Amino acid sequence: MKLAAILARKDLLETLRDKLSFVFILLMPLAFTLFFGLLFGGGGNTDKLPLAVWDADGGAAAKQLVADLDKSSVVHVVVKQGDEFETWMADERAAAGLLVPKGYSAAVASGEQADLTIVSTQGSNGAATAASAVRSLAGEQVTVELASRAAAEAIWTTRSMRSGSQETVVVQSAAEARPVVAAALARPAVSTRVVEAGAAAGQTPSGFILSSPGMLVNFILFSLMTAGIALIIERQNGTLQRLMTTRLRRWELIGGKAAGMFLLTFVQQILLMGVAQLFFGVDYLRDPVALFLMMVSLSLVASTLGLLLASVMKSEQALIATTVLVSMAVAAMSGAWFPLEITGPTFQTVGHLLPTAWILDGLRGIVVRGFDVSDVLPAFGVSVAWAAGFFVLAVWRFRLSD
């Protein structure tokens, strides 16, 4: 057992420090995620983001804020009230929504902290951009208001000073106003709260939400090639045989090889999901346990399939050709390139013979619909069954040398 773990660790490190595999494991999938994400309308920042605004306040300050927002280079405002606003958010027709609550103008006028609510939608990574635009404009507005008030008050207190030059009065007034302005600036002028709209059930997600899990599955399958080639090379250069002259037992050898592939694909998932989470606005962490189950499922299926392909294929060339074919076909049929929802029922049924289709449903469910563990259990079961099958076949066909 310990020896198998050492073997797996060696395999992982050997792959990770190879510069070429870095390209295959990380760069290519990210490039494709970006490409498909933008293709599906994932929110390039080239156009102004549509911002749905519901002005429930209607006061002077609120009107001013909406006007300022519309002039900004980041968003363009679509005014929607009540139900209409809700529908827009649910349909993800806007990148984000802004709710200006009653009492906003009054709060601004009295120099108190003003509250705003930003509604972000799942299918877009524009929410963060829109939110920061709102925050800075509203903050500016409130701060200007506060500073003006402070100055006015200072002038009021220093009005009795008839004597003295204009210069002295200005200096005095400024000195009076300074602490008030400073104090006002120290606390945030507006508080914004970001809430998620949650996509309506049965809706086809778009953008990175769509491309990230798809490309993840596609390239995890693709990296079977890297792991499989490593195994074939070991079979050809005699190290596999040599391993069997050490204390390592046969099951430890096969187990260690499978574990190495498992680790590799798992690390790859962490990296790809991390980048998607941080930079593409895909929220994988909505249910970490469910996510973990799906990651385990995908790595199980991928590593056992990789082991099987490497056991069956004789040469590197044969393996590369087969892996490209298999991974592309499996990825496409599982809905990694385009969602199965847009295909016909036959395609969907056929697709769902594959464990990867289930895993993709699980991953997208987690990201879009907030799936929890019970929702992804079937996908986990299907994956474990397939992985067990692959593994048994791989063990049966496993050879030490050609």
Partner 1 sequence: MSIVEVKELRKQYDPPKGVLAVDGVSFGIEQGEIFSLLGPNGAGKSTTISMLSCLLKPTGGDATVAGHSVVSDPQAVKETIGVVPQDIALYPDMSARENLVFWGRMYGLSGDELKRRVDEVLELITLVDRQKDRVDKFSGGMKRRVNIGVALLHKPKVLYLDEPTVGIDPQSRRSILDGILALRDQGMTILYTTHYMAEAQELSDRIAIVDHGKMIAVGTHEELVKIVGEGARVSARVDHYLEGMAERWREVKGVEKVEIEEDEAVLLTEDPNEVLPRLFEAAATAGSRITEINVTEPNLEMVFLHLTGRALRE
User: Which residues here bind partner 1, judged by CB under 8 A?
Assistant: 3, 6-7, 10, 14, 18, 237-239, 241-249, 400
Nearest distance, CB of residue 321 and partner 1, angstroms? 24
Beta bridge mates, 118: 98, 194
Q: Which is nearer to partner 1, 29 or 255 (CB)?
A: 255
Nearest distance, CB of residue 20 and partner 1, angstroms? 11
Determine the length of the chain.
Answer: 402
> Which of these, 150, 52, 61, lies nearest to 114 by C-alpha position?
61
Q: Which is nearer to partner 1, 34 or 243 (CB)?
A: 243
Q: Which is nearer to partner 1, 10 or 193 (CB)?
A: 10
The token pair at 345 is 């029922």
Q: Which is nearer to partner 1, 67 or 233 (CB)?
A: 233
Nearest distance, CB of residue 288 and partner 1, angstroms? 34
Nearest distance, CB of residue 247 and partner 1, angstroms? 5
Nearest distance, CB of residue 243 and partner 1, angstroms? 6
Report CA dihedral (48, 121, 85, 144) to the nearest 10 degrees. -60
Residue that has been written with the tokens 């309506």 in this structure: 200
> Which of these, 46, 120, 130, lies nearest to 282 by C-alpha position?
120
- 293-314 burial, b for 16+ CB within 10 Å, e for fewer? bbbbbbbbbbbbbbbbbbbbbe
Nearest distance, CB of residue 242 and partner 1, angstroms? 4
d(CA 170, CA 177): 10
Q: Which is nearer to partner 1, 154 or 232 (CB)?
A: 232
The token pair at 140 is 């500016």
Q: Which is nearer to partner 1, 11 or 92 (CB)?
A: 11
Nearest distance, CB of residue 232 and partner 1, angstroms? 14
Report the Cα–Cα distance between both ends of the chain, in Å, rounded. 26
Please report how many Cα atoms fall inside a 13 Å half-sphere around the Cα of residue 385, on the Cβ side: 12
Q: Which is nearer to partner 1, 263 or 360 (CB)?
A: 263
Nearest distance, CB of residue 370 and partner 1, angstroms? 44
Q: Which is nearer to partner 1, 254 or 400 (CB)?
A: 400
Helices marked H in 159-249 — which ranges?
A: 166-186, 208-222, 224-237, 239-243
Tell me how far CA of residue 356 lies from CA of 178, 277, 311, 397, in angstroms. 63, 21, 21, 23
